[in-house]
Structure 1
Amino acid sequence: MTMLPEFVSNVTRVQSKRPSRIVFLAIAFVLSGIPVPAATAAPAAPVRYLSRPDLVPPAITVDLAAAPTSPGRILLTPKDTADEQIGPLLVDDTGSPVWFAPRGDKLRLVMNAQVQTYRDRPVLVWWEGAFVPLGWGQGTVTIADQGYRTIAQVGLDRGVDLHAIRITPQNTIIVVSYRTTTAVPGQVTLRPVVENVLREIDIGTGRVLMTWSSLEHIPVSESYLRSNDIVAWDYLHVNAVDLDQAGNIVVSGRNTHTVYTLDRGTGRVLSRLGGKRSDYTLPPAAVFAWQHNVRVLPNGDISMFDNEQGATFPPTPPTRPASRAIVLHPDAATRTATMTRSLSTPDGLGTGAQGSNQTLPDGHAFVSWGDRGRFSEFDADGTMIYDARFTSPTVDTYVANRVDWHATPTEPPALLARRTSGGVTAYASWNGATEVSRWQLLTGPDRTHLAVAADAARSGFETVLTAPGDAGYAAVRALSATGAVLGTSPVTQVRAG
């Protein structure tokens, strides 16, 4: 473990023979997991809202809603859109947006949105930055409060990767960076190798408290990914980080098929679960490969999305026909690990890129199927009870999480009011307000004389209200389930129909 006051995030550039553009683009598609749409596929029409024409989130289709799901809403970061925008997206179980923050573009992605805890309060975190086609990112982590205000950003050197974001109880954050080098301990090599670097950073001050290098602790011989003469050898590919009950760092190495436990003070590898040098004996059914989204559960078990196939170059054959959401129980006394849960889709879906597996407090599991653009919920018995997908065939999300998120935006509700033959029709929304139960429509002859003319239950992101009369001005109020006023829109002039 190297203790450094700062970290140089520039990637070392290694001179090598340049591949052709066609070869490079083919490799980029393989490693990035970007689905290539069929030539005949027609893009879905974007969803648009009259009260917020500036918001164009991707549409979602729900294919299965067979039983009550766990409480909470679904947090996504859609990408690979056509005409829709990208950015953190919070939806309800119907697929209707609750909050959408358009950020990024085709070259600057937004990924890995989560709800975590900072200074004893829930916060939203997400990564945004440039995606390197070889399979990692260079960007920053944004932390936002329950008013959607940015309260911190980490990685202003643009050196933070998209995969691993973990805020600790000490109000620090552990992130990973990727950099290319030819300096491999104990070896002489001219071929570039991708080194993973973990940093623990004090969020408040930006001070780097710890730096850990993969090449100092994990030899390249553990990799299942073959090296090649075209691209740098991403021998490890750290794609998740967590803390165990003792405060040790738990790291997922996708390309070594291993979950590592690291001493947080020294960086020493305390144990390996899976891979070529596993400290635990796993039965054949529990062996995993090319995994994502490794998490430590409260009882010490390990959950993960077990891809079982890799979006790699050179290509690797699948180790199982379907991807799985699994939970492993490591027994430190016997040095064995058993599988306590394994979930797959009824149609045996497999994905080589991305994916997540979230164990919920009621025993349900919420699973994202990576670059397939699908996300599902299973009940405690392992039955799929919910299944949804992005309507557009190209759109996917790095992870999907069911979150307990309560927020009141700092901006007021939005309104568009039109005069129609029957009176006034109003379109009301409040982007990000999670507690709205009903809407009231207020109308009047001028801005200072408004009265309640109609009310309606909230209906999706945008609620339509109608009121008789020829009022010239209107506003809307957002009400909670108890009838409390949560917010009021600016008064607007009623437009001609």
Structure 2
Amino acid sequence: MFWLGLLVLSLHQVVGQYTDDNLRSFVTLPDVRALSFDITYYDRSRVAPGYWFVSPYLHIEPDQSTSLYEPYQVGPHIYDQDGQLIWTGSPKFENRNVFDFKVVHRIGNRPYISMILQYSRDHSDPGYGIILDNSYEIFKKTPLRQDLGVFDIHEFNVKDGKSALVTVYLSEEIGLEEFGRANEKTWLETGGFAEIDLRTAEVLFSWRSYDQIPLRETVHYDRSSPAEGLPGWDYVHINSVDKNDNGDYLISMRFTNTIYLVNGKDGHIMWRLNGQHRGDFEQDFTFSKQHNARFLKSTGTHHIISFLNNASDEEFAEEQVSSALIIEVESGTVPMTAKVLHRYDRPDGDLTRLRGNSQALPNQNMFVCWSQGGFMTEFSLEGEQLMSARYKSSRYSNYRAYKFEFVGQPHTPPDLVSSVLGTDESNLVTNIWVSWNGATEIASWKFYARASEFDYPVMVGRASKTDFETMFTAKGYLDWITAEAVDRKGHVIGTSELHRTKHPVWKTSGWKGHGAQPQPINPTTIYAGVPLNSKPSVADSAAVDAALEANLHKATLTLMSTYKFIRSIGSALVLVLLLALTIALIAICMLSRGWRVRLYQRVPTEEEMVEQSIQLHPESTH
């Protein structure tokens, strides 16, 4: 009874997804622990289509290596809008931190993905800008020139498919005469940026803050700040760079509370938009400690810019709530003006003291990552909150998160696992789990079994895809399993490798059936008279004919031998025996040709196969 109860339980829960409050596991990817989301929709009909591109991390600095088992959980991930995993790149990138993970539509006629692979803890690996194609294979791997230091985690902004913008941190020793300390020196981190050629990694343009931004503009240090050794004062802290069609650069400096426009020819600062002291503009708003300044539109002297107004850092808060802003800047008037077009306040009324970003979506919605805990929201253009989501575990955060439409077509085959359980022949079932990491076009799965490795596949059922991993339960002990991924138009887009079904140690599993252990069955005895999608080759037909001839020869020899044995028996009995043997010979021929006499069972339809599946869905997210 215990084992029967265990069998029933296995058929009424999602065995393939061991879920706790924070992380999810999968039978097909046993080393992966994917983060779970808490999601609330306020008006789902108005959210933009697309997937969430997130790169959760535990610590902003690279973690130390350890000999302990570490499940794959940080790094690049794609989720759908129900919080179901679409792709994890954590195994591909060795559980390392990844930043600025997003889609690039500026290369060729299909989407690509760009990201920053963080430098290693000992700096033996300086990190890279990486571009993946939509099969998740590395298309380009772009290093930073050695004299520019390690690859900074803030920015990898692919512009036209030929070049990318990156932020740069370099250190130099300076005198403190500007602060009235003529005899003192300190090390200084000079935040800057570079535009690099994606093909050759050649630096096309570079810029650094020192000599352009004086010490007096920093809000992070003052005349009394003690001098520091390497790496030195982080006095501007650049965290984003963008470029317009005129070739000028928009940069955000967190520790000066200023967004700058830098001339793309000679590097001089064209204007300063300061969040606390007005800078060069007449403006109707304030901001501070901002992130992720982006051109939404830039023509001549007129610019539409978005950014995240953190309004705080680890020590101070200039406002009571963080917000995403869309502003209009006009630099061709006297005085120059800047005004807020749209404001999106953090909906929980809190402050994002570190990191974060905002993204204007194609339908004019605003998607905002508030960083801590992976908190994300989507707003309508008018500022109405449509959705909020955050990780169930507050231990993880995003630096930035994005939302994009995307088609993923991995070259690797789907992952499949199958196992059998039961206590006797009447309740044997085969559980099948399948997933395809990164495939976005799957609508359903078809499942097949074979009598042997060389037999034709027989369809045993199908199931709709509703989650990253799909579980299907089939009657009987089936072996040699495969699964086909089917898109919304009914086309097969991928097939798993052939997999043998795992079985328990029957002696200790409660097996009470006939024999020491059960044997796999020929799937045609339960599911179909003729294998599906099969067209025998000439070689296969010859093999069948040879087997049939051998069976007939054996049957004939048996019949002749038996006849000789019973010749001395009475004629009536001989006639009965001959008739019985003739019927047996006919039956052998029928079986040899693949016929089945099934007076006890009707062949199930494809729809009935679906009902045989026991596939449990996760609770709906509200």
> Could you give the per-residue CA deviations for residues 396-427 of structure 1, whole angstroms, max 9, x where no partner exists?
10011001211211211000112244532211
Aligned to 1:97: 85
Larger deviation: 45-54 or 348-357?
Answer: 45-54
Aligned to 1:444: 450
CA distance in 1, matches of 2:97, 2:175: 31
Which of 400, 420, 431 does residue 425 from structure 1 map onto? 431
The answer to whether structure 1 residue 144 and structure 2 residue 132 are counterparts is yes
Counterpart code for 1:78: P
> Could you give the per-residue CA deviations for residues 418-460 of structure 1, whole angstroms, max 9, x where no partner exists?
2244532211100011111111111121233212211111111
Aligned to 1:17: none
Aligned to 2:470: 463
The answer to whether structure 1 residue 53 and structure 2 residue 30 are counterparts is yes
Q: Would the aligned equivalents of 1:77 and 1:113 in 2 still touch at CA under 8 Å?
A: yes
CA distance in 2, matches of 1:429, 1:253: 44
Larger deviation: 270-279 or 487-496?
Answer: 270-279
CA distance in 1, matches of 2:247, 2:97: 31
Question: Which structure shows the bigger proportion of residues in strand conformation?
Answer: 1
Counterpart code for 1:145: D
Counterpart code for 2:411: T
Counterpart code for 1:424: T
> Could you give the per-residue CA deviations for residues 433-492 of structure 1, whole angstroms, max 9, x where no partner exists?
111111111112123321221111111110112222322111111111111111100010
Which of 192, 204, 209 does residue 204 from structure 2 map onto? 209
- Structure with the greater alpha carbon radius of gyration: 2
The answer to whether structure 1 residue 336 and structure 2 residue 337 are counterparts is yes
Q: Would the aligned equivalents of 1:174 and 1:199 in 2 still touch at CA under 8 Å?
A: yes
Aligned to 2:220: 225
CA distance in 2, matches of 1:184, 1:260: 25
Q: Cα distance 1:336–1:62, how it changes in 2: closer, same or farther (>3 A)?
A: same
Aligned to 1:63: 40
Q: Cα distance 1:170–1:447, how it changes in 2: closer, same or farther (>3 A)?
A: closer
Counterpart code for 2:48: S
The answer to whether structure 1 residue 123 and structure 2 residue 112 are counterparts is yes
Q: Cα distance 1:400–1:224, how it changes in 2: closer, same or farther (>3 A)?
A: same
Q: Would the aligned equivalents of 1:377 and 1:386 in 2 still touch at CA under 8 Å?
A: yes
The answer to whether structure 1 residue 183 and structure 2 residue 174 are counterparts is yes
Give the CA deviation at 1:226: 1.9
CA distance in 2, matches of 1:67, 1:151: 35
CA distance in 2, matches of 1:182, 1:51: 54
Q: Cα distance 1:309–1:470, how it changes in 2: closer, same or farther (>3 A)?
A: same
Counterpart code for 1:66: D
Give the CA deviation at 1:220: 2.0
Please state whether the residue corresponding to 2:210 is helix, strand or coil. Answer: helix
The 5-angstrom pairing of residues 33-44 of structure 1 reads 44=21
> Could you give the per-residue CA deviations for residues 374-415 of structure 1, whole angstroms, max 9, x where no partner exists?
111112331111111111111110011001211211211000
CA distance in 2, matches of 1:93, 1:217: 44
Counterpart code for 1:214: S
CA distance in 2, matches of 1:458, 1:430: 11
Q: Cα distance 1:423–1:351, how it changes in 2: closer, same or farther (>3 A)?
A: same
Aligned to 1:5: none
CA distance in 2, matches of 1:143, 1:125: 4
Aligned to 2:265: 265
Counterpart code for 1:445: A
Please state whether the residue corresponding to 1:255 is helix, strand or coil. Answer: helix
Q: Would the aligned equivalents of 2:430 and 2:473 in 1 still touch at CA under 8 Å?
A: yes
The 5-angstrom pairing of residues 351-430 of structure 1 reads 351-420=352-421, 421=427, 423-430=429-436
Q: Would the aligned equivalents of 2:32 and 2:71 in 1 still touch at CA under 8 Å?
A: no
Q: Would the aligned equivalents of 1:343 and 1:382 in 2 still touch at CA under 8 Å?
A: yes
CA distance in 1, matches of 2:367, 2:239: 19
TM-score (norm 2): 0.68
Aligned to 1:72: 50
> Could you give the per-residue CA deviations for residues 88-112 of structure 1, whole angstroms, max 9, x where no partner exists?
0100111111001115678x52222
CA distance in 2, matches of 1:387, 1:379: 12
CA distance in 2, matches of 1:457, 1:392: 29
Aligned to 2:296: 297
Give the CA deviation at 1:207: 1.4
Counterpart code for 2:304: D
Please state whether the residue corresponding to 1:197 is helix, strand or coil. Answer: strand
Larger deviation: 159-168 or 227-236?
Answer: 227-236
Give the CA deviation at 1:186: 7.8
Give the CA deviation at 1:367: 0.6
The 5-angstrom pairing of residues 189-200 of structure 1 reads 189-200=184-195
Which of 159, 167, 174 does residue 168 from structure 1 map onto? 159
Q: Would the aligned equivalents of 2:22 and 2:392 in 1 still touch at CA under 8 Å?
A: no
Aligned to 1:7: none
Counterpart code for 1:481: R
Counterpart code for 2:272: R
CA distance in 2, matches of 1:118, 1:149: 17
Give the CA deviation at 1:230: 6.9
Counterpart code for 2:82: T
Larger deviation: 54-63 or 186-195?
Answer: 186-195
Counterpart code for 1:129: Q
The alignment covers a number of residue pairs equal to 445
Aligned to 2:481: 474
Q: Would the aligned equivalents of 1:85 and 1:105 in 2 still touch at CA under 8 Å?
A: no
Which sections of structure 2, spanning at least 5 residues, go unmatched? 1-19, 60-69, 422-426, 505-622
CA distance in 1, matches of 2:162, 2:278: 33
Counterpart code for 2:77: L
Q: Would the aligned equivalents of 1:46 and 1:83 in 2 still touch at CA under 8 Å?
A: no
Please state whether the residue corresponding to 2:457 is helix, strand or coil. Answer: strand
CA distance in 1, matches of 2:114, 2:175: 34
Aligned to 1:36: none
Aligned to 1:494: 501
Q: Would the aligned equivalents of 1:222 and 1:277 in 2 still touch at CA under 8 Å?
A: no
Larger deviation: 165-174 or 475-484?
Answer: 165-174
Which sections of structure 1, spanning at least 5 residues, go unmatched? 1-42
CA distance in 1, matches of 2:208, 2:129: 20
> Could you give the per-residue CA deviations for residues 172-202 of structure 1, whole angstroms, max 9, x where no partner exists?
1111111222236985651121101322111
Q: Would the aligned equivalents of 1:166 and 1:242 in 2 still touch at CA under 8 Å?
A: yes
Q: Would the aligned equivalents of 1:86 and 1:105 in 2 still touch at CA under 8 Å?
A: no
Q: Would the aligned equivalents of 2:31 and 2:71 in 1 still touch at CA under 8 Å?
A: no
Which one scores higher on RCO, CA 8 angstroms, separation ≥ 6?
1
CA distance in 2, matches of 1:301, 1:185: 38
Aligned to 1:25: none
Counterpart code for 1:447: E
CA distance in 2, matches of 1:184, 1:325: 38
The 5-angstrom pairing of residues 77-88 of structure 1 reads 77-80=55-58, 85-88=73-76
Counterpart code for 2:80: D
Counterpart code for 2:393: S
Runs of 4 or more above 3 Å deviation: 63-66, 81-84, 103-106, 183-189
Counterpart code for 1:310: D
Counterpart code for 2:226: D
CA distance in 2, matches of 1:490, 1:310: 52
CA distance in 1, matches of 2:245, 2:22: 47
Give the CA deviation at 1:65: 5.1
CA distance in 2, matches of 1:483, 1:362: 30
Q: Cα distance 1:207–1:245, how it changes in 2: closer, same or farther (>3 A)?
A: closer
Aligned to 2:279: 278
